[in-house]
A = this chain, B = another copy of it.
Amino acid sequence: MAVSSEFLDGLTPSAIRDITASIREKKSRGIDVVNFAGGMPDAAYFPVKELKQITDEIIEEDSGDLFQYAATDGYLPLREALSDLMKRYQVAANPAEILITSGSAQALNYLSRALICPGDTVLIEEPVYVGAVDTLKSYGPKLVGIPMEEDGMDLEELEKALRKGRASFIYTVPDFQNPSGSTMSVEKRERLVRLAEKYDTYIIEDSPYSLLSFSGGVCPAVKSFDREGRVVYLGSVSKTICPGLRVGWICADQESVRKLIYLKQRDDLQVNNLAQRQVHRYLTGGSFDAHLQEVCGVYKQRMESMLEAVRAYFPKDAVYIPPRGGIFLWLELGGGIDARKLFPYILNRRIAFVPGSFFYANGGGKSTMRLNFCTNEEAVIREKIREMGLAIQAWQAERK
């Protein structure tokens, strides 16, 4: 027998894992798959050399507290550095308004645990980051999807949903959203906060991609329009430095942070000390901005190569919005294509993507797909998106 409860037994692997498993199965048979399905940044651009040097320095200078227990709220110099970083989003937050977490994933879990009672309504974007949906769902809410527009959530639809009864919170990824690539307009950000005030709810602003801006410009955070402590900002270095360190943060008013510290004390006590110091040194060491510029430059070129190939070889009725940052391109294929059925056909050609319907919490998105443009080199992108486009056209022709 195994440990068992209604709750535990009800958990399932992430739906998207089937995709990952199919790819892994191919690879295990020695078949190389070009993967546009992943959600990760390109490891080739992690600042490994700097991290190595920083790590040496940190251990060298350790005066005995590096490996000991530390405070739950996090390493103060890191909280100070993140307080500085938040200024880029026009958020004035002091270090006491920041709590270090094991990635922003953990932060979302804390907020979900804190704010969701079974049956509560949570408003999410549609399409939506599937990892967030899994976390939210584990607390038993009713998830109501708000359609995404080119400039973020459809706020008319949001207000309609808010009128129907109190929501625990609104979950949004305003910058270069996963999966749609869409960025919320500044005007909508302000209106979103006003709606949260009017309908007495909170906003969870999950923004791991915000610094991956192809224009170099950074949008003011939704949090920057917060007058009443209604917005909780979740940050992460997973996409800007690297994910393996597991460092993220919550930025909220001090009272909220204090309560969330009590929650973290009942969970894992604190984040790994070395990782907190690595991130602190990297953020304050002077090379972070050059690094960001390099990564954004590479990702932008890859995105453009992908778009070029999509335009040339994908069915002409495919619709997309050129992303202004981040790592994902979102496509609506049109022509009634069922992307889940298309998936194995394309995978047999050793190319993987994610059918977009995985990103709809309540069904939909049949003809959509998500492509990660950041992890393959331009030549590979050009060749494989061409192959993929031609294969889609062939698949359509076969079905006519």
Given the known inter-chain contacts A11-B266, A255-B2, please indicate yes or no for A59 contacting B55, CB distance below 8 A: yes
A5 within 8 A of B: yes
CB-CB nearest in chain B for A52: B59
CB contacts under 8 Å to B, within A226-241, are: 228-230, 232, 238
Taking the nearest CB of chain B, how far is it from the CB of A137, in angstroms? 8
User: In A277-299, which residues have CB < 8 Å from any B CB?
Assistant: none
Closest chain B residue, CB of each to CB of A132 = B266
Across-interface contacts of A329 in B (CB, < 8 A): none
Interface 0/1 of A82-99, CB less than 8 Å to B: 000000000000000000
The smallest C-beta distance from A231 to any residue of chain B, in angstroms, reads 10
Asked if A272 is an interface residue, CB under 8 A from chain B, the answer is: yes
Q: Which residues of B contact A270 (CB under 8 A)?
A: 246
**With A48-B59, A67-B244 as contacts: A13 and B265 at CB distance below 8 Å:** yes
Decide if A40 is an interface residue (CB 8 Å cutoff).
yes
- A111 nearest CB neighbor, chain B only: B3
Copy number of this protein in the oligomer?
Answer: 2
Bound CA–CA A70/B238 (angstroms)? 12
Q: Does chain B have a CB within 8 A of A44?
A: yes
Q: Which residues of chain A from 1 to 38 have any CB-CB distance to chain B below 8 Å in the complex?
A: 1-3, 5, 7-9, 11-14
Q: Are the CB atoms of B13 and A262 closer together than 8 Å?
A: yes
User: What chain B residues lie within 8 Å of A243 (beta carbons)?
Assistant: 67-69
Once the chains bind, are B40 and A62 in contact (CB under 8 Å)? no
- Does any Cβ of B come within 8 Å of A103's Cβ? yes
Kindly state the separation between the CA atoms of A40 and B52 in the bound complex, as whole angstroms.
Answer: 29
Decide: B59 and A43 in contact? CB cutoff 8 A.
Answer: no
Q: In which size bucket is the chain A interface?
A: 35 or more
Given the interface contacts A102-B268, A228-B1, A266-B135, does A245 sit within 8 Å of B8 by beta carbon? no
A251-264 near B? 1/0 per residue, CB < 8 Å: 01111100110110
Contact of A43 among B65, B105, B252, B268 (CB under 8 A): B65
Among residues of B, the one whose C-beta sits closest to the C-beta of A231 is B3
- The listed residue (B101, B229, B244, B252) touching A273 by CB distance below 8 A is B244
Minimum Cβ distance to chain B for residue A338 (Å): 27
Known contacts A43-B67, A43-B68, A105 near B244 by CB under 8 Å: no
**Residue A244 contacts which of B66, B246, B253 (CB distance < 8 angstroms)?**
B66
A2/B268 in contact, CB under 8 A: no
* Interface pair A246/B262, CB less than 8 Å apart: no
**Residue A51, interface by CB 8 Å:** yes
Q: Is A347 an interface residue (CB 8 A)?
A: no
In chain B, what residue has the closest Cβ to A228? Answer: B1
- 3 interchain residue pairs of minimum CB distance: A2-B255, A67-B242, A106-B268
Chain A contact residues, CB within 8 Å of chain B: 1-3, 5, 7-9, 11-14, 39-40, 43-44, 46, 48, 51-52, 55-56, 59-60, 62, 64-70, 101-103, 105-106, 109, 111, 113-115, 117, 131, 134-135, 138, 202, 228-230, 232, 238, 242-246, 252-256, 259-260, 262-263, 265-275
